[in-house]
Amino acid sequence: MSRYSWVIFIVTGAWFSSAMAEQDYFTAEKCGQCYLTILESAHVRTIPNSLSQGRMDNALGDIKYTLARFPNHPVSLQQLSMVAQMVKNTTLAVSYFERAITLYPQYALTRAQYGMFLVATNNLDAGIEKFKQAIEIEPKLSAGYAGLAHAYTKKGDLEQAREAAKNARELGFAGKLPDGL
């Protein structure tokens, strides 16, 4: 093997091993030919089509592939939340959220997404705790307060729901909040 071939072999091997390793979505390089962009094009963006055609196995395969490489990929975590509820396998989503938080505990968004999933699956106290953690990490996360408003409303605690909704609005949240808040 020539010296040039060895260099190509080593560079390709280094790229491949870095592409296969768990990477932080929020610090990953984002450019036209970067691994994240290629992965999103080949896997993340195909999931809505798979779901609309009823191909849950394909959708789940693409989600798992993405989250194996970028455990805290927010779109794939959201997609996993939906698919896990559709196939009635909430344990699957919990394991991926827990892994993302264990590997990258610094991101409020991941905790807020996990909170939304937990509230959607009627794990209200656990969801409220995740929203509180998200807000502790990022006090100006309006979506965290909005999630709390939904969780407290679902729990029947309207006083805390109103307070959370007020905080969400003060931080500029423009999305839907529970009726009457």
pLDDT number for residue 4: 53
pLDDT band at 12 (very low <50, low <70, confident <90, very high): very low
| DSSP per-residue codes, 54-108 | T-HHHHHHHHHHHHHH-TT-HHHHHHHHHHHHHTT-HHHHHHHHHHHHHH-TT-H
| Structural tokens at position 134 | 């998200």
Q: Which domains does the chain have, with CATH numbers?
A: 22-89 (no CATH), 107-172 (1.25.40.10)
Percentage of the chain exceeding pLDDT 70: 88
pLDDT number for residue 31: 82
For 41-82, what is each residue's pLDDT tens digit?
999 999 999 999 999 999 999 999 999 999 999 999 999 999
pTM for the whole thing?
0.85
Provide CB contacts within 8 A for 129, sequence distance 6+: 115
